[in-house]
Amino acid sequence: MINVLIFGAPGSGKGTQSARIAQTFGLEHISTGDILRKEIADQTSLGILAQDYIKEGHLVPDEDVVAMLEHHLEGKLGKVKGFIFDGFPRTIPQADALKRMLARHDCEVSIVLDLNVPEDELIRRLLERGKISGRSDDNLEAIKSRLVVYNNQTFPLKEYFRKEGTLTPINGLGEMDDIFASISEAIDSVL
């Protein structure tokens, strides 16, 4: 199995590139943001819990996101070609949990794509999307909070994956096709 993690700040292009990676490499796309938004739309108990965290730009508690992910992977681990994990893990406890889940099926993280984009461009992209997305967190206040949360809780994962030897920096600035070409080259190198 090949397990690709895409890592980057809000607005770095994780969702956009993950969809193409899934299609080109035949991987299952797991976006914890999309799953949570679906739970909110369906007003499940998880959705009701998650909606205020997301609106404020905070992370949903680790135990809830890990349980949700375990549920989504159930029956698939070891049976599909691989996964592209988009927006998970976002904290060190989540990274440890993913490692344990994969290890139970003799799998591991193959590569971590680290999309780098300057902060002013992240804000520009998210405000632009906010004009049409209807997302509760695509407004300036929530975006600023998401960036603080990213810097405090998610950024330390770079060092975690650097130590594991899987972190692969990708320039996330520029044309989407050019970024995808760099990503494809990186994934090809671990296939």
Residues at the site binding ligand B4P, with contacts judged by CB under 6 A: 10-16, 32-33, 36, 53-54, 57-60, 65, 87-88, 90, 94, 125, 129, 137, 146, 176, 179
Beta bridge partners of 29: 84
In the bound complex, what is the minimum distance in angstroms from residue 162's beta carbon to ligand B4P? Answer: 20
Residue whose CB is less far from ligand B4P, 13 or 82? 13
CA distance 41 to 39: 6
- Which structure tokens are listed for 161? 């994956």
Whether 11 and 122 have beta carbons less than 8 Å apart is answered as yes
Contact 188, 136 (CB under 8 A): no
Does 100 show up as a binding residue in the annotation?
Answer: no
Q: How distant is the alpha carbon of residue 158 from its chain centre?
A: 13
Q: Minimal distance in Å, beta carbon 83 to ligand B4P? A: 14
Which residue lies nearer to ligand B4P by CB, 91 or 191? 91
Which residues are known binding-site members? Answer: 11-16, 32, 37, 58-60, 87-90, 94, 129, 135, 146, 174
